[in-house]
Amino acid sequence: MKQPFTIQVEQAIIDDLKNRIAATRWTDELPNDKWEYGTNKQYLQELCDYWQNGFDWKKQEDRLNTFAHFTAGIDGHTIHFIHQPGEGTKNVPLLLIHGFPDSFVRFLKIIPLLTKADENGMSFDLVIPSIPGYGFSAIPPEPGMNPKKIAGLFAQLMTEELGYKKFVAHGGDWGTSITENLALYHEDLLSAIHLTDVPYTHLFDVPKDELGKAEKKYLEKGQRWQQAEGAYAMIQSTKPQTLGYGLNDSPAGLASWITDKFNAWSDNHGDIENCFSKDELLTNLTIYWATGTINSAIRIYYEAMKATVNAMYNPLVKLNPLDKTGKKSTVPAAFALFPHDLVNAPKEYAERYFNVLQWTEMPEGGHFAAMEQPGLLAKDIRNFVFNGRLHSTDNGYPRRQVLNEKLNSNN
């Protein structure tokens, strides 16, 4: 049963954080104005100085607590989530799933845009969980917390705990992989899915049939990106524990590791604060620090890679008729692609794995779409669910009236 939850970080944790920042042993740096070597030292020192001397966690904590937070025990795991009701006369349940290196705060800006009723009284009931091992969700005590497992927990949260018969799911980054697994293994519960990228694991799942020109270009770009920018993922996929000790012990180290990704993956035109304020960056960082969850958060890379390798090479998994790894989902899907995301797939590649009914290429924005361009993202979700974008006559895809029946089944 869900229980109300209030974010309340002990002052001793904040005091210890500030003491550790003050004791940081800063490294040297070669010329690095464009962050070519990684996180820029001057900016990191500026950010950490503000974290120590100016950042008001209590103010941010109070702001976070204006939303409706809960926890629930799901299959032995404590899951934290926001459950924000819609303001309309007809509210569609929408599960929003974050990724790394962010948290549930990815979606704070988009909450009022989706819970507000439109001219027809339509809005969304929002459920925004913290992935197990992230933030205020409990750290998994055993191996195996991969996207498929998480999808099962979130399916139980939405149906058995919150009572929804059908729902829509949206995700980016790991949220995309989890949403894909919801669509593959829990399709009877889903009305539709909305994504901002094709799960990166499909870069390793090259189709055997002939690839089109755009698909070949995409895979080549993905391979180049992996070589130039993907070292963090390889470390987190192979030896996360080795990395976790340092990140969990040093606020400056944690800030460097995470801030580098916010800078590199956002559409910031050379200045990270064109997209994120220091308060936004530090609110996310403080959640990681105060909960001590950076190690369990990065472990999802290891668990996901292990599951992917098993599906590719383990004959017991490959021959299992119940395993749907690499299969195409039949759930109606929409994609909103933002130009400064990591590596955007072409539509024809996405269609190998998803039942794509809506495809939007945005004019601006990056990996953290809900934080960078909440208006564009909210509009795209609304268009897909409310404005007829789910109607199609091609390939036997569900017509809009069928989808309306699915949405109405909650009432």
**Annotation says 173 is catalytic:** yes
Annotated catalytic residue, options 301, 302, 349, 353: 301
Please choose, from the candidates 273, 296, 327, the residue with its C-alpha nearest in 3D space to the C-alpha of residue 46.
273
**Annotation says 43 is catalytic:** no
Confirm if 230 and 256 have CB atoms less than 8 A apart: no
Annotated catalytic residue, options 173, 197, 260, 341: 173
Q: How far apart are CA 108 and CA 64, in angstroms?
A: 9
Neighbours of 26 (CB within 10 A): 10
How far is the CA of 408 from the CAs of 165, 191, 403, in angstroms?
A: 9, 10, 9
Give the three-state DSSP class for 89: coil
Q: How far apart are CA 267 and CA 344, in angstroms?
A: 14
Confirm if 137 and 70 have CB atoms less than 8 A apart: no
Q: Determine the residue type at 278.
A: K
Neighbours of 379 (CB within 10 A): 15
Q: How far apart are CA 35 and CA 29, in angstroms?
A: 11
**Annotation says 301 is catalytic:** yes
Annotated catalytic residue, options 80, 202, 367, 380: 367
- Residues tagged active-site: 173, 301, 367
